[in-house]
Amino acid sequence: MEKEKVKDRIIRVASDLFYKQGFNSTGINQIIAEADIAIGSLYNHFSSKNELLKVYLIKEELKWFDGFEKHSSKLIKAKDKIFTLVDYRKELQNSSGFSGCHFIKINAELGDSNPVISEFVMKHKEKQKIMIKELITEYNKEDGSVNADAITENIFLLLEGAVVISTINKNADAFDQTKKIIKGLLP
Amino acid sequence: MEKEKVKDRIIRVASDLFYKQGFNSTGINQIIAEADIAIGSLYNHFSSKNELLKVYLIKEELKWFDGFEKHSSKLIKAKDKIFTLVDYRKELQNSSGFSGCHFIKINAELGDSNPVISEFVMKHKEKQKIMIKELITEYNKEDGSVNADAITENIFLLLEGAVVISTINKNADAFDQTKKIIKGLLP
DNA sequence: GTCTATAGCTAGATAGAC
DNA sequence: GTCTATCTAGCTATAGAC
């Protein structure tokens, strides 16, 4: 295994801090301390804290879709893939100590102050919804005949609600409820 | 009309800033500038920025339930009260420029750094859910025989999802979808 | 009860040695 | 390409005059 490069270590440390304690609450000094580098090195690799934020979000998006691909690729039926989407988001919450969705979090924290990030978050959620719709369309070919747009929106909103509420409550109950509801939606 | 007292002006200005640009991004200096007072006056009324945060959240919770009471008290049937809950949250979002839920926002911003606030947010959402359950129980007495717990959770999660997604997308589409779905849940 | 002045600290970012 | 030293600006909070 190759040794982790400085740039990658900065990204890893910064990402973890941005997620766990928030972007505004994370200082450059804390990042360089935990990455064990000098401040000059950080600014050699990244032009600003904001650039580090963009790199973080782009990487998290890739991780999110790759992670779901790994969870669902072994499954054959679209119905099972949809159920495993609930399991996947539950697992992400469990393993992060219910720290929430990276994208909802940063959007809540930045509000309207950073349009580039706001648009990135909007597009990310749109991608998630499109992915769900593709699964529902696949499901209709295999087993069902549901209204794809309506069921997609329903599942999409339930999942976002479940993530937010599980973050607040620090438990996964909302995902279990969500799975039951979705089972009822896909006969 | 009585002149607004200094303390109330501080609360109003701070609340607006906390909501619109975030708690961490709002400085004491900005609050006193926009409230047009000296810093000594602020600390005469409030012991810390954190106390101001607590007052803000308590006040917003009161406003939330009072606002819904005003919207729903004139309605007779529980079913209509549930529909008007969707309208109410849609209206809150519209009138704030889709700035999101005060409580989800502060929870996302603070993470686990402030347990007192985290617990307040948790209890607030629990109160909302209990309110929904009371409406569903009332509905069952009048018109229906749905599974109260399951339908409550379903409506609750859909609404939270709709608030989050409407905040990200800066439009009310998610509420219109949510209303349609809820209409299907309450025959 | 409102004011000014300021303490003590941390923020993000830059300059320049090596 | 990593380092130290440092800049300017901002932060929360306090002291003490009036």
In chain A, the domains with their CATH numbers are 1-46 (1.10.10.60), 57-185 (1.10.357)
For the residues B56-78, what does the mean pLDDT come to?
97
Residue A60 pLDDT: 98
Residue nearest to nucleotide C10 (CA to C1'): A27
Q: What angle do CA B178, B140, B69 make, to 5 degrees?
A: 60
Sign of CA dihedral B119, B124, B129, B134: positive
Tell me which nucleotides of strand C come within 7 A of a protein CB.
1-6, 10-17
Q: What is the DSSP letter of A73?
A: T
Pick out residues whose CB falls under 7 Å from strand C. A 26-30, 39-40, 43, 47-50; B 6, 37-41, 44-45
Residue B4 pLDDT: 83
Would you place residue B2 in the very low, low, confident or very high pLDDT band (cuts 50, 70, 90)? low
User: Which chain A residue has its CA at the smallest distance from B25's CA?
Assistant: A24
A22 neighbourhood in chain B, CB within 8 Å: 24, 108-111, 113
Residue A4 pLDDT: 82
Q: What is the DSSP letter of A46?
A: -
**Residues near A157 by Cβ (< 8 Å), separated by ≥ 6?**
B157, B158, B161, B162, B165, B174, B177, B178, B181
Is the model's pLDDT at B68 over the cut of 70? yes
pLDDT digits (tens, 9 = 90+) for B8-44: 999 999 999 999 999 999 999 999 999 999 999 999 9
CA of B28 to C1' of D6 (A): 27
pLDDT digits (tens, 9 = 90+) for A4-32: 889 999 999 999 999 999 999 999 999 99
Cα-to-chain-centroid distance, residue A55: 14
Is the model's pLDDT at B1 over the cut of 90? no
Burial grade of B176 (CB within 10 A; 0-12, 13-18, 19 or more): middle
**Mean pLDDT, rounded, of chain B:** 97
Question: Residues of chain B with pLDDT > 90: what percent?
Answer: 96
Residue A44 pLDDT: 96
Q: Tell me what percent of chain B is helix, strand and coil, each rounded to the nearest 5.
A: 80, 0, 20
**Contact between A97 and A109 (Cβ < 8 Å):** no
Among the listed residues B58, B59, B49, the one whose alpha carbon sits nearest the alpha carbon of residue B22: B49
Nearest CA-CA distance, residue A74 and chain B, Å? 29
Residue B24 pLDDT: 97
Residue A1 pLDDT: 62
B118 neighbourhood in chain A, CB within 8 Å: 168
Residue B8, H or E segment: helix B6-21
3-state secondary structure of B143: coil
Q: Which residue stretches of chain B are H helix? A: 6-21, 28-35, 39-45, 49-72, 78-95, 102-110, 115-142, 148-169, 173-185
Q: For chain A, how many residues are written?
A: 187
pLDDT digits (tens, 9 = 90+) for A138-177: 999 999 899 999 999 999 999 999 999 999 999 999 999 9
Among the listed residues A90, A107, A95, the one whose alpha carbon sits nearest the alpha carbon of residue A22: A107
Would you place residue A2 in the very low, low, confident or very high pLDDT band (cuts 50, 70, 90)? low
**Contact between B134 and B128 (Cβ < 8 Å):** no
Is the model's pLDDT at B3 over the cut of 90? no
